[in-house]
């Protein structure tokens, strides 16, 4: 469910698998995986059927299974940090001790409907979709209030603290409902004020159910639809372009790590890759007898989970972090050291005006931003940034400059 958002990390692979695309890792469960969320370069979580949660503490190489003691097949999971994580089916549960124990929070189990997604933009502020409603909390999930009437399913995505999207589908023009016969259609809503207010966007084809979405930034994103097409927007959802994937098996999810490179998983156990923004798709992996149901990535790894505990990972070192042609020029802006550890320095001998500098991970998420008017040399703190490969993007008065920055 989390498109843009999240998974695996910096790992050590053998030479045969470093650039060998996908390989299966040992799974500690035979229960099916329903959702994936990665917190940082080492720690990640998966929700499963039959009350099971999986956790990795070494970038996805190994996974540990936890029996929550809850008789539910979970549909969504979200980690705040390596210790604090939420899971959901009908009720919402929270662990603050790294999956060792769980408590019911929010009193949400009084209806029989499923919580289809969870997303937190901070430790205090989060969102869920339940009972055809989008709810928000500002106090760690203890209390929830309705912010929008959405639909039966949904996928919550935030590209910044202010801008977010919810995509999915439901029953059209049936308030208070139900429709007879039901009319399924795709819908997408957007917020620009941190989720307090939402506006419905005009989706280009309302006969399609949106399975999931992947946004690179506030404006550029893709939706994966029920007829095996994808929809692309470059203006924050105001307009959409439809792209036929040419795939025959049902798409169960997908994500893009930048504007051109993306992945699709299918019910038939296939994983496809595109390197041209979805125009062409190549088969990269086929599972022997299981289908995929969840996918996500970090700045170093991508992981897919599926039926009967299937877990596959892929290193992203062979894929460029960006395909922009204009890089930092040593005569204009210089960054060092690279690789960097706790700090790096920007030298600006030409004294060009730098309006903003962004540090962006492989999923397109801005992990740090610095604002300035003029730079002649500045040391920037990255002690809190997880190890990996990032895109450093500077907006200057002579254009946008980019460079790959390795954080150790």
pLDDT digits (tens, 9 = 90+) for 118-162: 999 999 999 999 988 899 999 999 999 999 987 667 789 998 889
Which residues, 6+ apart, have CB-to-CB distance to 129 below 8 Å?
115, 116, 117, 135, 150, 153, 154, 156, 166, 168
pTM for the full model? 0.74
pLDDT higher than threshold 50 for residue 296: yes
Does the pLDDT value for residue 51 go beyond 70? yes
Q: Say whether pLDDT at 347 is over 80.
A: no
**C-beta of residue 406 within 8 angstroms of C-beta of residue 389:** yes
d(CA 271, CA 262): 10
Which residue has better confidence, 380 or 276? 276
| CA-wise closest residue to 363 among 276, 297, 268 | 297
- Look over the chain and give the mean of its residue pLDDT values, rounded to a whole number: 82
- Please report the domains of the chain, with CATH numbers, ordered by start residue: 15-315 (2.130.10.10), 334-407 (2.60.40.1930)
Backbone angles phi, psi at 267, to 5 degrees: -65, -25
Show the beta-strand stretches assigned E in 322-365: 334-336, 343-347, 354-360
Share of the chain above pLDDT 90, in %: 50
Rounded CA Rg of the chain: 21
**C-beta atoms surrounding 143 within 10 Å:** 13
CA dist 89 and 108 (Å) reads: 10
- Confidence label for 323 from pLDDT (cuts 50, 70 and 90): very low
> Do 363 and 17 contact (CB within 8 A), yes or no?
no
Residues with Cβ within 8 Å of residue 137, at least 6 apart in sequence: 106, 124, 125, 126, 127, 143, 144, 145
Query: For 225, how many CA atoms within 13 A lie in the half-sphere containing its CB?
Result: 26
Backbone phi, psi, residue 309, to 5°: 80, 15
């Amino acid at each position: 469910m989390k498109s843009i958002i999240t998974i695996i990390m910096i790992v050590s692979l053998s030479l045969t698998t470093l650039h060998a695309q996908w390989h299966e890792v040992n799974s500690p469960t035979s229960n099916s995986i329903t959702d994936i969320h990665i917190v940082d370069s080492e720690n990640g979580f998966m929700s499963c059927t039959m009350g099971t949660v999986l956790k990795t503490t070494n970038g996805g190489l190994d996974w540990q299974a936890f029996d929550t003691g809850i008789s539910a097949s979970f549909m969504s999971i979200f980690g705040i940090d390596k210790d604090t994580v939420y899971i959901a089916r009908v009720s919402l549960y929270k662990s603050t001790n790294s999956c060792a124990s769980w408590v019911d929070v929010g009193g949400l189990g009084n209806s029989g409907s499923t919580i289809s997604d969870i997303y937190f933009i901070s430790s205090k502020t989060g969102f869920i979709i339940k009972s055809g409603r989008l709810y928000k909390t500002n106090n760690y999930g203890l209390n929830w209030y309705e912010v929008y009437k959405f639909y039966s399913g949904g996928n919550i995505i935030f590209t910044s603290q202010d801008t977010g999207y919810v995509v999915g589908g439901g029953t059209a023009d049936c308030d208070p409902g139900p429709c007879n016969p039901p009319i399924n259609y795709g819908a997408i809503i957007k917020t620009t004020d941190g989720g307090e207010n939402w506006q419905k966007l005009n989706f280009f084809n309302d006969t399609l159910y949106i399975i999931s979405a992947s946004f690179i930034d506030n404006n550029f994103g893709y939706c994966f639809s029920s007829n095996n097409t994808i929809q692309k927007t470059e203006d924050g959802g105001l307009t959409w372009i439809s792209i036929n994937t040419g795939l025959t098996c049902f798409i169960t999810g997908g994500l893009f790590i930048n504007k051109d490179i993306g992945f699709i998983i299918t019910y038939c156990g296939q994983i496809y890759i595109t390197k041209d923004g979805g125009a062409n798709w190549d088969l990269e992996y086929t599972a022997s007898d299981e289908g995929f149901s969840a996918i996500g990535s970090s700045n170093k790894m991508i992981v897919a989970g599926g039926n009967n505990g299937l877990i596959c990972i892929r290193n992203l070192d062979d894929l460029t972090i960006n395909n922009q042609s204009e890089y930092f020029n040593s005569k204009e802006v210089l960054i060092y050291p690279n690789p960097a550890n706790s700090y790096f320095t920007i030298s600006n001998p030409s004294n060009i005006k730098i309006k903003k500098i962004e540090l962006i991970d492989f999923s397109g998420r801005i992990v740090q931003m610095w604002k300035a008017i003029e730079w002649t040399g500045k040391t920037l703190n990255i002690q809190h940034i997880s190890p990996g490969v990032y895109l450093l993007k500077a907006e200057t008065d002579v254009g946008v400059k980019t460079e790959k920055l390795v954080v150790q």
